[in-house]
A and B are shown apart, each in its own frame.
Chain A
Amino acid sequence: MNPSIRTALIAAGLILGGAVLLRLWAHTQPLASQAEITQRGINVLIALMVILNANTAAKQIRAMPRCDPALEQAARRFTSFALVIGGALYALAWLIAPLNWAFPLSITALGGATVAGVVRCLTLWSRRPA
Chain B
Amino acid sequence: MNAVFRALSDPTRRKVLELLRQRPMSAGELSSHFAVAKPTMSAHLAVLREADLVAADKAGKQVIYRLKMSVLEEALLSFAQALDLGLDRSPSKPPAPEPASS
Which residues of A are at the interface with B, using a C-beta cutoff of 8 A? 54-56, 58-59, 61, 63, 69-70, 73, 77, 80-81, 84
B70 contacts which chain A residues (CB < 8 A)? 55-56, 58-59, 80
B23 touches A54 (CB 8 A): no
B71 touches A80 (CB 8 A): yes
A54 touches B71 (CB 8 A): yes
A55 contacts which chain B residues (CB < 8 A)? 70-72
Residue from the list B23, B57, B68 in contact with A70, Cβ < 8 A: B23
A58 contacts which chain B residues (CB < 8 A)? 67-71, 74
In the assembled complex, the Cα of A18 lies from the Cα of B43 at a distance in Å of 43
Which residues of B are at the interface with A, using a C-beta cutoff of 8 A? 21-24, 52, 55, 57, 64, 66-72, 74
In the assembled complex, the Cα of A77 lies from the Cα of B23 at a distance in Å of 11
Interchain pairs with CB closer than 8 A, number:
38
User: Main SS of chain B's interface residues?
Assistant: mixed
B57 contacts which chain A residues (CB < 8 A)? 63
B69 contacts which chain A residues (CB < 8 A)? 58-59
4 tightest A-B CB contacts, nearest first: A70-B23, A69-B24, A84-B71, A55-B71
In the assembled complex, the Cα of A59 lies from the Cα of B22 at a distance in Å of 16
Residue from the list A54, A73, A80 in contact with B66, Cβ < 8 A: A73
A–B Cβ pairs within 8 angstroms, 21 of them? A55-B72, A56-B70, A58-B68, A58-B69, A58-B71, A59-B52, A59-B69, A59-B70, A61-B55, A61-B68, A69-B23, A69-B64, A69-B66, A70-B24, A73-B23, A73-B24, A73-B66, A77-B67, A80-B70, A81-B71, A84-B71
Closest to B57 in A: A63
Closest to A76 in B: B67
Closest to B20 in A: A73
